[in-house]
Amino acid sequence: MNIAVIGTGYVGLVSGTCFADSGNNVTCVDIDEKKVKTLREGNVPIYEPGLEAIFDRSIRENRLHFTTDMAEAVTDADIVFLCLPTPPGGDGQADLSAVMKVAGQLGGMLTDYTVIVNKSTVPVGTADRVREAIAEQADPELFDVVSNPEFLREGAAVEDFMKPERVVIGTGSERAADIMTTLYEPFVRSGNPIIVMDERSSELTKYAANAMLATKITFMNEIANICERVGANVDNVRRGIGTDSRIGKRFLFAGIGYGGSCFPKDVQAIHYTAAQNGYDFKILDSVMKVNESQKVSIVRKMEAYYGTNDFSGKTFGVWGLSFKPETDDIREAPALYVADELVKQGARLIAYDPEAIGTFKRATTQRVLDNTTFVHDQKDALEDIDALIICTEWNEFRRPTVDHFKDEMKQPVIFDGRNLYDLDRARNAGITYISVGRPSVIHEEVEEGRKV
């Protein structure tokens, strides 16, 4: 098929590249001339495992193209995917200005029947609004509008796209449903379902899925907070409940909160939609409130450990800046909040991340930049620091055993926001190790050195 993808952000670039790799002719559109030039030159502007290989192959085989001219891409397209940003406003409402602007332009570009697909995460009722906007300039017989939410995990997006657990298609049109089913059938040969439903249910499905996962994460963080108060170990609790098939093992790891481009935005958006329709979504009130406090909970542990909130004269190492491993995305990353809070309290930082240093620098405050040294080797973030803070669970942080910290750190004190290390190993390694929802390991020799 001929496919146009409007928007080359994370979802648009991954979707367009994967569709091209499966044999379609794909043209991606973006208004950013510099970005389009970069893409045409064969450079991938985001870090996503596996993406570069299929990107290169699709360009080499002339199936993936980039342009700033939307009409050029849309005129011959069988399907047009809208992969546009829908950032949250101050009240949590998703900003649809980019989606509606493009919808208003599409009508005049359609010459043959075309399926218009909302791939962006959008509020319930957006398909109706897009349909109305296009119909102002085009015969309604020339197009159908479909909701097709993405369920891509950053760090595993290519795998998720190529082997989806399910494909959700929201449309009341049999013709559009047949075209979309034909497009996705190569991706579900193992038998995973293509679920066709109405547009509004499809739109709500994406929000409901992310809100449910965010709630599950937040629940375990609450359990972790209780564990710290009663002397329990959240790892044991996780194993105890995760074997219940009704609950499952995934998204039960305690930490310093969720971040990224999806969970925070989608929780806010479904909460806003509920309020606009006269419903008080009390669970999500709590989810958002708890997650905000959880992001800086590690700073509260540091204040308790040092007995002060004045960190003047102290230098802390930070491992991990991205909101999760295997991505350079720092949107709503806990590290942003932890760094800002510590610098406010007088600390200096030495920070390392395998992929996200550049994106972190562009997103953080000038105050943090002025008080942070960024290094490109994780060992360099251990030199002459008072403690190490772990904000992201990159696999390479697991590979050094806890035994090496005592030799490489001035003060082997670790505040671990992702529970990377075994408590017994930490105890035997002679370090002070404070994590989330687990008993703290306080080593007497380290404490004596700290007092001196």
**Which residues are marked as active site?**
262
Distance CA 449, CA 312 (A): 19
Between CA 212 and CA 287 the distance in angstroms is 10
Under 8 Å between Cβ of 16 and 3 = yes
**Residue 445 to residues 416, 433, 442, 452, Cα–Cα distance (Å):** 20, 13, 9, 11
Q: Report the distance separating Cα 291 and Cα 260, nearest Å.
A: 12
Question: What is the rounded CA–CA span in Å between residue 170 and residue 13?
Answer: 22
Question: How many other C-beta atoms are found inside a 10 Å radius of the C-beta of residue 362?
Answer: 9
In terms of Cβ atoms closer than 10 Å to its own Cβ (0-12, 13-18, 19+), residue 175 is exposed
Q: In Å, what is the CA distance from 346 to each residue of 340, 381, 388?
A: 10, 18, 16
Strands (E), 41-150: 64-67, 79-82, 114-118, 143-147
Angle (deg, nearest 10), helices 10-21 and 51-60: 60
Q: Determine how many CB atoms are found less than 10 A away from the CB of residue 244.
A: 9
What whole-number distance in Å separates Cα of residue 128 and Cα of residue 31?
A: 25
Give dist(CA 395, CA 448) in Å, integer. Answer: 32
Q: Are 318 and 415 in contact (CB under 8 A)?
A: no
Q: Pairing between strand 64-67 and 79-82?
A: unpaired
Distance from C-alpha of 114 to C-alpha of 117, rounded to nearest angstrom: 10
Handedness of CA 64, 68, 70, 71 (dihedral sign): negative
